[in-house]
Amino acid sequence: MEGSDTYLIRPSHQYKFKPAVVKECVREIVRERLSGKRFEPEEVQELSRSLAECIKDRVKNAGFDKYKLVVQVVIGEQRGEGVNMSSRCFWDADTDNHAEDLFMNESLFCLAVVFGSYYY
């Protein structure tokens, strides 16, 4: 990341991390790549990694330049097991935010979370 010596402590409204916009990006990508797929142990490793890369690139291109991004993708097999995921963040609530999306079909579930942290 290049330091563009502006020392802006708060992003202006148009550059702020918009959860709704990011959630839409994530939703599109996940639905497109996973509709109709079955959980395949060999395939899922590559699939989750490429999904994460894809989501990260799409969100970067959506114009959040001053944000550091963390994308986490969890794909699990649906076998009736119980799963619970939670997260907490220690950050600046005025500038930082996150967006998530859960996709389920008969054989798998996929949770994608994007965290955006403003780089001062």
Partner 1 sequence: MSGSIVGKYVPFYIRQLTYILTSDVLVMDEYQTEETAFVVEDVSKIIKESVEAAIGGHAYQHNRVNQWTTIVVEQCLSQLSKLGRPFKYIVTCIIMQKNGAGLQTASTCFWDNTSDGSCVVRWENKSMYCIVTVFGLAI
Smallest Cα–Cα separation from 76: which of 51, 44, 32, 100? Answer: 44
Please count the residues of this chain forming the interface with partner 1, following the rule CB under 8 A: 44
Rounded distance, CA 112 to CA 114, Å?
7
At 30, which helix (H) or strand (E)?
helix 19-34
CB of 82 to partner 1, least distance (A): 4
Three-state DSSP class for 77?
strand
Is residue 72 classed exposed, middle or buried when 0-12, 13-18 and 19+ CB atoms within 10 A define those classes? middle
Give 24 or 96: the residue with its C-beta nearer to partner 1. 96
The verdict on 21 binding partner 1 (CB under 8 A) reads no
Q: Which of 13, 32, 36, 81 binds partner 1 (CB under 8 A)?
A: 81
Smallest distance, partner 1 to C-beta of residue 104, A:
14
User: Which 84-103 residues touch partner 1, going by CB under 8 A?
Assistant: 84-92, 96
- The interface region with partner 1, picked from 12-20, 27-35, 64-72 by CB under 8 A, is 64-72
Write the CA distances from 45 to 36, 39, 51, integer angstroms.
Answer: 17, 10, 10
Binding positions for partner 1, rule: CB under 8 A: 1, 39, 41, 44-45, 47-49, 51-53, 55-56, 60, 68-92, 96, 113, 115, 117, 120
